[in-house]
Amino acid sequence: MRFSATAAQALLFPALVMMTMSSHMQAQTPQASADTIHGRDHIRLPLPPEAEKTPVVDDYFGTKITDDYRWLEDAKSPETREWLDQEIAYTDRYLKQAKVRPEIADKLDSLIHVTSWSTPIQRGDSYFFMKRLSDEEQPSIYMRHGWTPPAHPKAKETNADLGRDVRLIDPAKLSRDPNTSVSLLNVTEDGTMMVYGIRQGGADEEEIHFLTIASRKTLDDTLPAARYNSVEISPDKSGVYYARFTPHKGSLLYFHKFNTRNSEDVLLFGREFRGEPLGEMDQIGARVTDDGRYLVVIVSRGVPAKRVDIVYRDLHQPESPFNILVWGIDSRFSAMYASGDWYVRTDYQAPNGKILKAMPGGVAPEAWTTIVPEGSDVIDGSSIVGNKLFVHRLKDVKSESTVYTLAGKAIGELPYAGIGDASGMSGNSKDRYGFYSFQSLIQPPTIYRYDTQTGKQEVFAQPKTPFDTSEYELKQVFYKSKDGTHVPMFIAGRKGLKIDGSERLLMTGYGGFNSSETPAWSPLWAAWMEQGGWFALPNLRGGGEYGENWHKQAMFEKKQNVFDDFFAAGEYLIANKYTSPMHFALSGRSNGGLLMGASITQRPDLFGAIWCGFPLLDMLRYQKFLIGRLWTSEYGSAENEKGFDYIRKYSPYQNVKPGTPYPAIMFFTGDSDTRVDPLHARKMAALMQNLQQPGQPDSGAKARPILLHYSLKSGHSAGVSAAQLIDDYADQLSFLWTETGSK
């Protein structure tokens, strides 16, 4: 057993431990009392479970680094599981004392248990989409034939399903586990077959199934649970093209012929192309053009991709070799195909993006025709629907969309209601209608159908969320980072909130992987604002908000810029009296969990409470686990000397300092995270909790709670039940709200 028996017993039998150890406790200083850890709102905890130190020393280019908790990297060992049981009990003990939790859970329940929809896929007169009814735990897959019910009652006699939402796949009938979910992956162009996935909990892997729409029968053919980059039924419906990623090996594109064994699947693309090896860092995906003519293969080099290659095969000649659209250029390319022509969105010689009409056959992009030139605002997405080109831009992180002819003439814009986040236009290149959604931090999402011929738009779906947008305000400010860079930030909250430093404020951030953090709706943030706190979202470097240059300013040895941008946002909010350090809460997950770790170790004075979810924290070893190797294209690696030099400086796990008064912290992860290994949170929690043990410089009456919330269901991906989500969110917000109170 690798944790302190005394600490473990104190969790389960505190009275017994106090009686049997009373003489020993009296001989100790007050730090060692069972009531050492002081949460706000009168929450009291004993000492946390003490994990045994078992030092392992690594030599990095002559520098010795000691890791005391390497044994916690093994999630399945009896010692780790026993320690986790104690951690779960310890966190539960805290949450049972959080008086505000029932109130927050009720708010979350009302915001999450509403009927909700996904953007539909239109096939002819039929629409396929996900929908979860307000009293359900998981979305189901539905089909609707016809836009609305017919006006004349007799018109429905010929088709009982006309205009009605028909449930095709119900996850509740697949498993008794409410954390089993389904996903709508694709529908054939004629609307006769559908591809769907089944996922367990929040894992990345899913099992692939195929449904015949007319009979409502699922084929016997399945693809086993794995990470699939793409799955598409062939135009003749004889089989399926699928690209599967295997950790430490890479991606391969296969064709599976229906009614044959999976072992007979044919490898179509992977391992090498024209003498160039393809490895783990090369993510392969595929799709079929809307007209069914071409199989398009996309090879993304790294995560995020620094280079994207595109090749295609004429399916009218299935044995023909793959032709090159673009290959070997260190830029990103995204292909669109319409009316026999290729169009490409790229950042090649255009960091903010541009749209070109491409010439296949390996012709250099310099010879292609410019359709939409680069502008001052970054192009965030593009699509061709109804033979019109829709270009989505971020103007200071606010959505704008312009409609063009395929020759590049601007012919209109999509009307958005103020500051918010719009999706790109989705639809078929030859169909009349497309679909998009619009939302904001204070406005739940609405899905619209857009008529590409008239410009008319109608509401497809709008959840009846009990959140009164008119009672809240959303604004954008700009502040200066440490090096003088101007950084935008969204601030939202209930109208009339005080700006005198006394209010609670919750800030989140990400800053990485070219991912733009737009002001999108979240019931989590909405519940915090309903509770009475400010919410802030700074747009840190490392994201894609201002194009590739913005991204590159926080990669590799420049990663510290992300943290400096985040701390400067905190300083701005405090200086302008939105909050104060005591009332300042942080929340971040994944790469944002790394940001939380840096906030813990670099600026513990600035914040009162931190929720650190699914985090990367031991950056010297992250690349060794699960799919971590893919992210070396963003962070670099300590396996080379240059990478070690800059990563060691910010890696949270190696920068915890005894004697530092840290804020209250909740680490959140669980067994279902198959993307970021939970070992990061386990090791960091053990390390920081050790500082609160008797005799440590950071122990004492003022020590704040440090918790490990370890879920057996929740993971990195979507898929947990609404009830599980409400529980997890309630734990998160009740902790942050409690620990940013005045006492």
The residues carrying an active-site annotation are 590, 716
**How far apart are the two ends of the chain, measured CA to CA in Å?**
37
Tokens for 684, please give them.
Answer: 């960091």
Nearest to 712 by CA among 307, 177, 120: 177
Q: In angstroms, rounded to a whole number, what is the distance separating the alpha carbons of residues 425 and 70?
A: 48
Contact 714, 670 (CB under 8 A): yes
Residue 468 backbone dihedrals phi, psi, to 5 degrees: -85, 100
Burial class (CB in 10 A: 0-12, 13-18, 19+), 411: exposed
Amino acid identity at 618: D
At 645, list the tokens.
């030099």
Residues ≥6 apart with Cβ < 8 Å to 373: 350, 354
Contact by Cβ (8 Å): 586, 506: yes
CB atoms within 10 A of CB 625: 16
Please report, for the chain, how many H helices and E strands are present, in that order: 13, 43
User: Other C-beta atoms within 10 Å of 484: how many?
Assistant: 6
From 613, 451, 634, 462, select the one nearest 552 (Cα to Cα). 634
User: Strand 369-372's sheet: what is its strand order?
Assistant: 333-338, 341-346, 354-358, 369-372
**What b/e readout covers 277-309, taking b as 16+ CB neighbours within 10 angstroms?**
ebeebbbbbbbbbbbeebbbbbbbbbbbbbbbb
Beta-carbon contacts of 195 under 8 Å, excluding residues fewer than 6 positions away, are: 185, 186, 187, 208, 209, 210, 211, 231, 232, 233, 240
Residues 6+ apart with CB under 8 A from 646: 556, 557, 559, 636
| Helix extents (H) in 40-145 | 78-96, 101-112
User: Does residue 196 sit in helix, strand or coil?
Assistant: strand
- Tokens, residue 740: 């940013």
Q: Are 36 and 700 in contact (CB under 8 A)?
A: yes
Strand order through the sheet with 421-422: 421-422, 433-440, 443-451, 457-461
Cα distance between residue 383 and residue 427, in whole Å:
8
Contact (Cβ atoms closer than 8 angstroms) between residue 541 and residue 553? yes
Residue 481 token pair: 């980072």
